Structure 1
Amino acid sequence: MTRSLVIAPQWIGDAVMTEPLLRRLRHRGEDLTVGAVPWVAPVYRAMPEVGRVIEFPFQHGGLQFGARRRLARDLEGHFDAAYVLPNSLKSALLPFLASIPKRIGYLGEARVGLLTHRLKNPANKPPMVAFYSALSGDRDGLEQDRPRLHVPRVEVEAALQAHGLQERGYVVFAPGAEFGPSKRWPDKHYAALAASLDVPIVLLGSGKDREVADRIVQGAPSARCLNLAGQTKLEQAFALIAGAQAMASNDSGLMHVAAALAVPQVALFGSSSPLHTPPLNDRAQVVWLKDDPTYQPPLDCAPCFQRECPLGHHRCLEDVAPQRVAQLLRQSASSA
């Protein structure tokens, strides 16, 4: 059996979108160990095909060569192949320093000598699931792959009990977006949506999203809101999403988690594109004004993939009405 080390991306959404690749590798008999930073590691623990998860002691930014060399010494001789999922130079260093014989990844950041099997980066932005799955060397069915995560039933029940919630009796909001404000539906719209729903609202996100979630709660005083942004571990957030009636979110990591758990959802896209990072879920409703022929004037500026609106109007999300999202949420929940 081939012993394979997978170097994971550093974003939750990207990590979810690597699951079809790992499923392909496991199906052909590879024994998988995933190396991931601590805030992404729980994603891989929710993938049954992963045998082991190593938490890397690395932070965002910086080469941290000494730490990589020390870890490489511990890993040397334990793996036959490595799949380097990020495109950075530093992500390819560890398999090289650990003398792993076969090192697969995309060309990028002058790392030709660090990889033994190199794929050319596509000229256009392809769907990310297919982008990662192509590292398996397969070419069939990449577009049809859908990420899957598994949350044990006992964890869902524990999360519901801890917060006094009834299964399928609440809606989750994920109002944050790590990339920047251009991907966030306005707080006032989330507040109006909360006020229009007749079920409790659970707000999830990181500590950075706490202030945004507070503003939503304050803007909807009549709604029953439970603000858990920054108050849960990622595994607990997964369990709360798995037990929800539906979820409304921006294009974010938790959006992909809901899709991989097959939870009814409404996904709001603005500066980014659902052609590149769609929620691969039959129960997903995507709102993207760029693709709406009835929206005038057309959004010629989208997708800009910028952290902040370069034109200063943020029409791509500002003009998505809460009433529209509420209707889609009800449709998604009723079809579950």
Structure 2
Amino acid sequence: MKILFVTSTRIGDAVLSTAILRYIIEKYPSASLTVACGPLPSSLFEPIPGVERVITIHKKAFSIHWISLWATTVTQSWDLIVDLRSSAIAFSLRAKSRKILRSDKKTSDLHRVEELASLFNLDNPPAPKLWISNSMEDMGQKLIPNGSPIIGLGVTANWMPKVWPSKNFIELIQRLTRKGKIFSGKRFAIFGSTNERDIAMPVIQGLTDTECIDLIGKASISSVTACIKRCSFFIGNDSGLMHIAAALGVPTIGLFGPSPAERYGPWGDHCQSVVSSESYHALIGKKDFDHRSSANLMNGLSVDAVEKATCELFDRIKGSASG
């Protein structure tokens, strides 16, 4: 059975789409899968069982990238095409069956995982899942050597208004690493890309009394994924890193302000979204709101709220493990 799976160019959306890919793999365990996605998340699909080929979609002017994808896939007769991009590609290829995601008012208010599940009429959405290859594990081991437990911090995001202030991250960790607190004696790994170093450096420089592993721009996305897998807990802004942590089963705290947690919160019982006192609709509904602005919109999320949620999730996970 030949299946073409067309998914996102963004890391976060691509990771969330592994929920439906997981369902397909479990339903058709002997199928041969071809995944088409953007360059950033492409390496995340390579270790997935049944994935025979990953086609990287490089965006081009006038949507020429779709023509390139068509030329690469047109010679194959597909048993199933799953198109999460709502493109015309599914109708231009030979296929016995097609599933094309089209957001509408009925699904746009659902969590993205639930919306994806609706494509196959699934009442109980499968959770996103990422696989780690042996080579990825080896790289993760090199970047984060064995030692005391690691807490992952995703202090950056692809949009500055979503970035929780550095001083808040610093105060949170200082509180949680005090003697007798839940992160006392633990190490911290700081994640982000090379162009996000200026955002992350105040946090790294501010955590003078803790052992920090600076991974900003020092690893590929596959290596970063392996490193996050080694974390015992993750706290981060709404970002692809947050979704990677959740998909790996790492207890995850997601920080939200000008993005809807009910739509894009980290998925699973091991996760918790913490939302600004100013709602998403209130933040983006302001008269002077401009999505191109770099003004921070996370000041309504207090350190107290994040500390409380972190401790509650930590205790809940600890209780589940002991039970």
TM-score calculated relative to the size of structure 2:
0.80
Partner SS for 2:142? helix
Partner SS for 2:301? coil
d(CA) in 1 for partners of 2:299, 2:196: 19
Unaligned 5+ runs, structure 1 = 108-118, 291-297
The residue type paired with residue 135 of structure 1 is L
d(CA) in 2 for partners of 1:57, 1:285: 32
Match of residue 322, structure 1, among 303, 319, 323: 303
The residue type paired with residue 105 of structure 1 is I
How much has 1:241 moved relative to structure 2?
A: 1.0
How much has 1:253 moved relative to structure 2?
A: 1.0
Aligned residues of 1:47 and 1:148 also touching (Cα < 8 A): no
d(CA) in 2 for partners of 1:243, 1:42: 18
Kindly provide the CA deviation profile for residues 254-301 of structure 1, in whole angstroms up to 9, marking residues without a partner as x.
Answer: 1111111111121111111221112112222321134xxxxxxx6484
d(CA) in 1 for partners of 2:41, 2:11: 6
Aligned CA distance change for structure 1 residues 300 and 264 (closer, same or farther; 3 Å): closer
Unaligned 5+ runs, structure 2 = 178-183, 319-323
Match of residue 171, structure 2, among 186, 192, 197: 192
d(CA) in 2 for partners of 1:258, 1:75: 32
Aligned CA distance change for structure 1 residues 63 and 313 (closer, same or farther; 3 Å): closer
1:8 correspondence with 2:3: no
Counterparts of 1:246-325 in structure 2, within 5 Å, are 246-290=233-277, 299=279, 301-302=281-282, 304=284, 308=291, 314=297, 317-325=298-306
How much has 1:39 moved relative to structure 2?
A: 0.9
Kindly provide the CA deviation profile for residues 156-195 of structure 1, in whole angstroms up to 9, marking residues without a partner as x.
Answer: 35423334342x61211111111x1221111111222333
Q: Residue 143 of structure 2 corresponds to which residue in structure 1?
A: 162
d(CA) in 1 for partners of 2:145, 2:253: 24
Q: Residue 229 of structure 1 corresponds to which residue in structure 2?
A: 216
Counterparts of 1:148-159 in structure 2, within 5 Å, are 148-152=129-133, 155-156=136-137, 158-159=139-140
d(CA) in 1 for partners of 2:284, 2:26: 38
Aligned CA distance change for structure 1 residues 164 and 300 (closer, same or farther; 3 Å): closer
The residue type paired with residue 185 of structure 1 is W
Amino-acid identity (%): 21
How much has 1:303 moved relative to structure 2?
A: 5.8
Kindly provide the CA deviation profile for residues 105-153 of structure 1, in whole angstroms up to 9, marking residues without a partner as x.
Answer: 245xxxxxxxxxxx756364221112222223x24324xx311222246
Q: Residue 35 of structure 2 corresponds to which residue in structure 1?
A: 34
Partner SS for 1:318? coil
d(CA) in 2 for partners of 1:250, 1:38: 22
Q: Residue 140 of structure 1 corresponds to which residue in structure 2?
A: 123
d(CA) in 2 for partners of 1:236, 1:259: 16
TM-score calculated relative to the size of structure 1:
0.78
d(CA) in 1 for partners of 2:257, 2:119: 29
1:130 correspondence with 2:114: yes
The residue type paired with residue 171 of structure 1 is I
RMSD of aligned Cα (Å)? 3.1
d(CA) in 1 for partners of 2:305, 2:80: 48
Aligned residues of 1:245 and 1:333 also touching (Cα < 8 A): no
Aligned CA distance change for structure 1 residues 195 and 250 (closer, same or farther; 3 Å): same
Aligned residues of 1:272 and 1:302 also touching (Cα < 8 A): no
1:183 correspondence with 2:162: yes
Q: Residue 45 of structure 1 corresponds to which residue in structure 2?
A: 46
Aligned residues of 1:69 and 1:97 also touching (Cα < 8 A): no
How much has 1:9 moved relative to structure 2?
A: 0.7
1:69 correspondence with 2:67: yes
Partner SS for 2:249? coil
Q: Residue 58 of structure 1 corresponds to which residue in structure 2?
A: 58
Q: Residue 210 of structure 1 corresponds to which residue in structure 2?
A: 197
Kindly provide the CA deviation profile for residues 15-51 of structure 1, in whole angstroms up to 9, marking residues without a partner as x.
Answer: 1111221222233325321111221112323533x42
Aligned CA distance change for structure 1 residues 97 and 63 (closer, same or farther; 3 Å): farther
